[in-house]
Amino acid sequence: MTHTSTHDELLRISAPADLGPAIRARRREQSLRIDDAASLSGVSVDLLSRLENGKGSVRVDKLLTVLDSLGLALMLGPKSHPAMQSARRPDSEQPEQP
């Protein structure tokens, strides 16, 4: 399945495994190597790699730093909010197309 661009749509994250591919896709959209993105974020390559691969835990402050450096934001709101309802679920959760 193809992952669509993260820069023009909201993505609803419902599991830690959903976050890594979205971060990796955004980094690649910006043509950043992982070491360059880590340097820009002020985190280690190991941390960014673990985050992108969904392995190990990452402190929330480090996650927010990485997201900010890639031009992404974390939003929190009730599931019933219209913005949350319109957010796309990761490809793995999309209903099958006939």
Q: What is the CATH number of the domain that holds 35?
A: 1.10.260.40
Domain containing residue 63: 17-75
State the CB neighbour count (10 A cutoff) for residue 88: 13
Q: Is residue 96 part of a domain?
A: no
User: Any residues with CB less than 8 A from the CB of 5 and at least 6 apart, and which?
Assistant: 25, 29
State the CB neighbour count (10 A cutoff) for residue 43: 20
pTM of the model as a whole: 0.78
Count the domains in the chain.
1
Cα-flanking dihedrals φ and ψ of residue 80, to 5°?
A: -80, -10
Q: Is residue 4 part of a domain?
A: no
Measured distance CA(29)–CA(91) in Å, rounded: 17
Q: Is residue 49 part of a domain?
A: yes
Q: Is residue 41 part of a domain?
A: yes
Lowest mean pLDDT among 1-5, 43-47, 92-96: 1-5
What are the tens digits of pLDDT across the range 14-57? 888 889 999 999 999 999 999 999 999 999 999 999 999 988 78
Counting every residue written for the chain, the total comes to 98
